[in-house]
């Protein structure tokens, strides 16, 4: 009887790559993928070592033929968007040029779990294998996907941890006020002491932009002026963009402050930068560096930006509720209809070759007399003369309007709230003096305890003295600024002599002084000064 022989079963591992070989002499087309995440010297050395290693390894295997070495230098692995060579490799795989990809580890291939598994599956469907040397994983093996997923999660977690540590360090520097100043804006450079210093010629451009804006110019007009003057942007361009000009007007660094964390990165995977609308803390460092723009002037510009941004539409044909600011004519923003409240618009009438410029109610232009029956059309020259006549009379009579006009002129030229404070304090002094007089009369007629009135009179008198002292301090400070005083006097003289028709200040003065002008059906205008005082004037 024959002796029974024990059967032996030997497992032969699957190797899908063999299906790529038409016969044993067919060479596999092999590529390698290398990546380093930073441009630091040690990382670059690692990058060069990876490229050299795979070039040598593929060349030494007689059954392999090198397709290419795909390498991304100084690129993060959390996203595929910026990895140009990685995407080129995927495209070549889709074209059938590659059979096998060699890479150091799962972390080198991708630090994003979703991307890692997506591309492994996509390549596997094409019959392209990925071999991760560090983990000894072959993506074509049946049980490999689970292990690749585990290692991908670990790689992503490592990136998230590194990102969290970096963010923590940045926020600590923000909290302590030691966050570095970024020299990516016009007007500043790094000084010899390592601190920000003003670049005089660039600072002059910034001051010009702020001045033009407060004089009523639109962003388009400022852009045109800068380009005509040949001013150069921070990046050396002769062409200015409206967004760049608006960024300059809104940048708090020009008044010496620094607001940190205005934007934040959503996460280390998508790297989407979002505007911080309250999701994260912000840190404001005041008086961080020398200011190019006075803080009061900066605040004035922010208020004007907000005002222009809230202009409502005037035409029913507009697609949105948002109106558009026009810096071409000051009256466009100031002139309103006394009957229906609609803005007035400038129109050019032409008859027999003779042109006539008039201002008309926009509601009446669009909808006719049915909606605004009694509004009048006004010749521009007559309108201007009436406006300046009203202001001139107010300046000449030494009334309350005179003080208000002086305060508004000084505020418009300097942008300093102190000038408006003088007017407000002066009005408070007038009120207190009237109340003192009333209490003096009550004191003289009282038959009871007079001490109550005496205490009130003394308290109000002390307030008057304190306000007068404060006004004197502010005036002395303003009088020291000879250039400001000269500009204010120049504007006042121009108004008094009615020479503003050809004067550079003609529109800027109107914007400084006037809140609105109401055109009445009885051929009169009501000029409302900023501060509340109103002047009525006939249109001749």
Distance of alpha carbon 133 from alpha carbon 105, whole angstroms: 6
Tens digit of each residue's pLDDT (9 = 90 or more) over 335-377: 889 888 888 888 888 877 788 888 988 888 888 887 888 888 8
Contact 135, 102 (CB under 8 A): no
Q: Tell me the pLDDT band of 305, cut-offs 50, 70 and 90.
A: confident
Is the confidence at residue 102, as pLDDT, over 80? yes
User: Phi-psi category of 131—alpha, beta or left, where left has phi over 0 and alpha has psi -120 to 50?
Assistant: beta
pLDDT of residue 383: 87
Contact 131, 103 (CB under 8 A): yes
Confidence (pTM): 0.46
Strands 344-351, 354-361: pairing is antiparallel
Phi, psi of 211 (to 5 degrees): -65, -45
Contact 343, 336 (CB under 8 A): yes
What is Dmax (Cα atoms) for the chain?
A: 149
Mean pLDDT of the region 126-149: 78
pLDDT of residue 142: 61
Is the confidence at residue 226, as pLDDT, over 90? yes
Tens digit of each residue's pLDDT (9 = 90 or more) over 22-32: 455 678 899 98
What is the H or E stretch that residue 358 is in?
strand 354-361
pLDDT of residue 11: 65
pLDDT of residue 52: 83
Tens digit of each residue's pLDDT (9 = 90 or more) over 410-423: 655 555 555 556 66
Say whether 198 sits in a helix, a strand or coil: strand
CA nearest neighbour of 34 among 74, 79, 61: 74
Distance of alpha carbon 285 from alpha carbon 71, whole angstroms: 43
Is the confidence at residue 270, as pLDDT, over 70? no
Contact 432, 468 (CB under 8 A): no
Output the six-digit token pair for 405.
């006009």
| String of DSSP letters for 122-147 | HHHHTT-EEEETTTTEETTSTTHHHH
Output the six-digit token pair for 352.
């027999």
CA nearest neighbour of 188 among 110, 255, 286, 136: 255
Give just the sign of the alpha carbon dihedral 324, 330, 332, 335: positive
| Side-chain-facing half-sphere of 154: CA atoms under 13 Å | 11
CA nearest neighbour of 294 among 184, 469, 418: 418
Burial 194-217, CB ≥16 within 10 A → b, else e: eebebbeebbebbeebbbbbbbbb
Distance of alpha carbon 340 from alpha carbon 373, whole angstroms: 9
Phi, psi of 347 (to 5 degrees): -130, 150
DSSP type of residue 432 = H
SS (H, E, C) 208-268: HHHHHHHCCCCHHHHHHHHHHCCCCCCCCCCCCCHHHHHHHHHCHHHHCCEEECCEEECCC
Contacts with 249 (C-beta within 8 Å, 6 or more apart), sequence order: 209, 210, 213, 301, 305
| Side-chain-facing half-sphere of 540: CA atoms under 13 Å | 9
What is the H or E stretch that residue 157 is in?
helix 144-175
Say whether 454 sits in a helix, a strand or coil: helix
Q: Tell me the pLDDT band of 166, cut-offs 50, 70 and 90.
A: low
Burial 369-379, CB ≥16 within 10 A → b, else e: eeebeebbebe
Domains and CATH numbers, the chain: 24-162 (3.40.50.1390), 188-305 (3.90.1750.20), 331-538 (no CATH)
Strands 514-520, 129-132: pairing is unpaired
């Amino acid at each position: 009887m024959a002796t029974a022989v024990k059967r032996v079963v030997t497992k032969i591992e699957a190797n899908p790559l063999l299906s790529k070989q038409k016969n044993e002499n067919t060479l596999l087309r092999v590529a390698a993928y290398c990546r380093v995440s930073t441009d630091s010297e040690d990382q670059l050395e690692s990058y060069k070592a990876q490229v050299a290693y795979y070039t040598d390894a593929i060349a030494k295997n007689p059954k392999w033929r090198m397709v290419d070495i795909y390498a991304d230098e100084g690129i993060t692995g959390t996203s595929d968007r910026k990895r140009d060579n990685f995407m080129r490799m995927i495209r070549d795989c889709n074209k059938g040029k590659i059979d096998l990809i060699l890479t150091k580890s799962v972390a080198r291939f991708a630090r994003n779990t979703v991307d890692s598994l997506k591309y492994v599956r996509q390549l596997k469907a094409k019959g392209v294998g990925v071999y991760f040397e560090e983990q000894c994983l072959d993506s074509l093996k049946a049980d490999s996907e689970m292990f690749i997923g585990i290692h991908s999660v670990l790689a992503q977690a490592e990136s998230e941890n590194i990102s969290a540590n970096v963010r923590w360090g940045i926020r600590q520097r923000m909290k302590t006020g030691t966050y570095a100043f970024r020299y990516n804006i016009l007007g500043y450079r790094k000084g010899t002491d390592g601190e920000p210093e003003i670049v005089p010629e660039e600072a002059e451009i910034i001051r010009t932009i702020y001045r033009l804006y407060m004089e009523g110019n639109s962003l388009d007009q400022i852009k045109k002026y800068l380009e005509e003057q040949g001013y150069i942007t921070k990046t050396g361009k002769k062409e200015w963009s409206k967004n760049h000009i608006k960024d300059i007007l809104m940048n708090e660094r020009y008044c010496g402050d620094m607001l940190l964390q205005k934007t934040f990165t959503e996460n280390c995977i998508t790297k989407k930068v979002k505007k911080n609308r309250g999701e994260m803390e912000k840190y404001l460092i005041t008086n961080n560096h020398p200011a190019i723009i006075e803080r009061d002037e900066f605040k004035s510009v922010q208020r004007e930006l907000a005002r222009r941004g809230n202009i409502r539409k005037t035409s029913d044909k507009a697609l949105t509720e948002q109106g558009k600011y026009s810096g071409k004519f000051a009256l466009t923003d100031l002139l309103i209809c006394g009957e229906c409240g609609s803005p007035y618009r400038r129109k050019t009438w032409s008859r027999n070759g003779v042109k006539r410029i008039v201002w008309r109610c926009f509601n009446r232009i669009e909808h006719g007399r049915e909606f605004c029956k009694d509004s009048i059309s006004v010749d521009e020259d007559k309108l201007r003369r009436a406006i300046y006549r009203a202001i001139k009379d107010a300046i000449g009579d030494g009334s309350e309007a005179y003080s208000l006009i002086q305060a508004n002129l000084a505020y418009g030229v300097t942008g300093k709230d102190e000038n408006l404070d003088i007017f407000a304090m002066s009005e408070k002094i007038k009120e207190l003096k009237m109340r003192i007089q009333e209490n003096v009369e009550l004191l003289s007629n009282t038959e009871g305890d007079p001490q109550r009135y005496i205490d009130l009179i003394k308290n109000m008198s002390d307030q008057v003295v304190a306000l007068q002292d404060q006004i004197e301090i502010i005036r002395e400070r303003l009088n020291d600024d000879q250039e400001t005083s000269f500009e204010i006097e120049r504007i006042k003289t121009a108004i008094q002599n009615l020479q503003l028709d050809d004067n550079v200040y003609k529109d800027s003065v109107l914007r400084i002084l006037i809140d609105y002008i109401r055109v009445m059906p009885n051929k009169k205008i009501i000029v409302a000064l900023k501060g509340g005082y109103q002047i009525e004037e006939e249109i001749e």
